[in-house]
Chains A and B, each alone.
Chain A
Amino acid sequence: MSDLKQELKEKIITQLNLEDIAIEEIADNDPLFGDGLGLDSIDALELIVMLDKDYGIKLTDPKEGKKIFESIEVMANYIAEHRTK
């Protein structure tokens, strides 16, 4: 699971172009949106595409993302449970 969390942090920084944020600065339970990493609605859509492309998880309702993308910890648990690739 720690490998998956590390992988997610790397992907988030690269794919969401979070310049000046290092992997070590993202704690597993930091909120990804709002006061945490400050991600926005386009980032949320980008994460939905990433779940589909990299892990074979299709979210049909974007509102589901609100819970799943709460933190790296929550996201990793969800992916580990639902991934098809």
Chain B
Amino acid sequence: MKAQHLKIKEYCKISNNRVLLNDQLLYEDQGSDFTTFIKLAYKKMNTNYPKFFKMDDLSKLGFLASDILLKPMTQDSEISKNIALVFSNSASSLQTDRKHQESIMDQENYFPSPAVFVYTLPNICLGEISIKHRLYSENSFFIFNHFNAKYLHDYASSLIESEKADEVLCGWINCDVEDYEAFLYLVSKEGSIEHNKEEIIKLYTTK
């Protein structure tokens, strides 16, 4: 394994009813709840993928942020890109877990929904992204108490340096009750931002 000088090529944030690419505002709608906001953002971004509406909120959030970063790289090519996915959050799939739990609480009214149950794991989101962008790459979803820049940095660096991936899309997507947040960035051999812990924290914390 050889150490390489890696960069952050691009980053995307979705939070507080705003969608940003490299801190450029792509879409904002302050008057809507999450369901309406993410649907309108999906339409604004021209994300033509009807299965989006079947996803749970966590997958919608991760899918849309990923699509903004990956679409320019994958839409014109039939060749699969070796882009690994390394995501993290603190709430896992808790919001969907609760929804599933509610459907199985009453033995007299026991009708669990298969469409809800399939999203009771956070890494299902990675599958949705891999299907859309034809990725057959490494993927991992970690649960941390807080955003863990060092772990993400070390893991992404290791994947590229060991030639398991050419690039790594990584970051944080969290969704629980009315609180949601996506911060994804693309680690590459090209780019203008240094890939180190300090820069990752700076990008994550800049509002």
Q: A residues bordering B, Cβ < 8 Å?
A: 16-20, 38, 42-43, 45-46, 49, 52-53
Contacts and interface: CB of A to CB of B under 8 A. Distances in A.
Contacts of B113: 46, 49
A52 B103 CA distance: 14
A19 B40 CA distance: 12
A30 B121 CA distance: 34
Contacts, number: 29
Most buried by A among B39, B50, B52, B114: B114
Q: Which 8 A-B pairs have the closest CB atoms?
A: A45-B114, A19-B53, A17-B53, A53-B111, A17-B54, A46-B115, A42-B115, A42-B114
A16 B115 contact: yes
Give the interface residue-count category, chain B.
Answer: 10 to 19
Chain B interface SS verdict (over half)? helix
B118 interface: yes
A49 B50 CA distance: 22
B36 to A, nearest CB: 12
